[in-house]
């Protein structure tokens, strides 16, 4: 049973370009979460999605960032017009049900490391 | 918003010694916590969880203690091994928040 799959593992972009990060949750999981991790820092929550719905995007920057989790296919985190400050590791996690049900952990992928030149 | 935080950013212990990693939280209504371990270059992995109706929970070489009075929890690792070197996060899943993390280094 494959875990959470993220790709690309490493992405290099120049300032002003777009970055697209993909996340395929574990089989049977319908809830996806995106986190950002800067070097030497903790995990910062960005967005929580279920299939075709954004449930909580309180951690998402208001501009240039967007996320989706379509009915078919992986969840996508999209960063438009990247700046150097966007350089970070972006982790995706999934769960089989809402964590609000207090029923368990988040299963994390290995992360996508974005470098903006 | 309210969040979970850690007391110390780094901890070094001798191999074979016990490690204690602390975490404070601010939301008195929090009733479920998880400890994660993140090895270098990898995503966080679940270690152990605890619910607010418990004060202590034990796993294999790990114990989590929860003190609801002072809103504090700790992760104890017995007989620390080099493979335990990692960053440890406490998390309050209901609010999606993770602490800054404590970087544990095991000295052989």
Name the pLDDT band for B1 (thresholds 50, 70, 90): very low
State the DSSP H helix or E strand holding residue B37, giving kind and residue range, or none if neither: strand B32-38
Let me know: does A67 contact A76? Beta carbons within 8 Å.
Answer: yes
Which chain A residue shows the shortest CA-CA distance from B96? A45
For residue B35, name the pLDDT band (cuts at 50, 70, 90): very high
Taking any CB pair shorter than 8 Å as contact, residues of chain A touching chain B are 4, 33, 35, 41-45, 48, 56, 58-59, 91, 93, 99-100, 102, 104-111
The whole-number average pLDDT for the span B26-44 is 89
pLDDT given for residue B95 in this prediction:
72
pLDDT tens for each residue of A56-96: 999 999 999 999 999 999 999 999 999 999 999 999 999 88
Q: What is the mean pLDDT of chain B?
A: 88
The answer, yes or no, to whether residue B78 has pLDDT greater than 90, is yes
Q: Which residues of A touch B42 (CB under 8 A)?
A: 110-111
pLDDT number for residue A99 = 56
Q: Are B66 and B73 in contact (CB under 8 A)?
A: yes
Percent of chain A with pLDDT over 90: 79
Instruction: Please compute the mean of the pLDDT values over residues B51-73 and round it to a whole number.
Output: 94
The β-bridge partners of B98 are B91
User: Over 90: is that where the pLDDT of A25 sits?
Assistant: yes
Quickly state the pLDDT bin for A28 (edges 50, 70, 90): confident
Contact B44 A33 (CB under 8 A): no
């Amino acid at each position: 049973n494959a875990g959470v799959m993220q790709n690309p593992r490493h992405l290099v972009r120049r300032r002003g370009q777009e970055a697209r990060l993909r996340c395929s949750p574990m089989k049977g999981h319908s809830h996806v979460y995106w986190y950002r991790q800067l070097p030497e820092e903790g995990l910062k929550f960005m967005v929580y999605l279920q299939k075709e719905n954004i449930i909580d995007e309180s951690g998402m920057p208001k501009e240039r960032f967007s996320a989706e989790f379509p009915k078919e296919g992986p969840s996508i985190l999209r960063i438009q017009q990247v700046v150097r400050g966007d350089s970070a590791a972006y982790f995706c996690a999934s769960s089989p049900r809402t964590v609000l049900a207090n029923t368990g952990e988040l299963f994390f992928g290995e992360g996508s490391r974005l470098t903006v030149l | 918003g309210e969040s979970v935080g850690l007391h110390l950013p780094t901890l070094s212990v001798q191999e074979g010694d016990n490690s204690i990693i602390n975490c404070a939280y601010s939301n008195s209504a929090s009733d479920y916590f998880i400890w994660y371990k993140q090895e270098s270059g990898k995503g966080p992995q679940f270690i152990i969880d605890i619910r607010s109706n418990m004060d202590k929970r034990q796993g294999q070489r790990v114990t989590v203690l929860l003190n609801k009075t002072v809103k504090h929890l700790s992760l104890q690792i017995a007989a620390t091994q080099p493979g335990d070197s990692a960053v440890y996060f406490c998390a309050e899943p209901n609010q999606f928040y993770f602490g800054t993390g404590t970087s544990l280094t095991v000295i052989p």
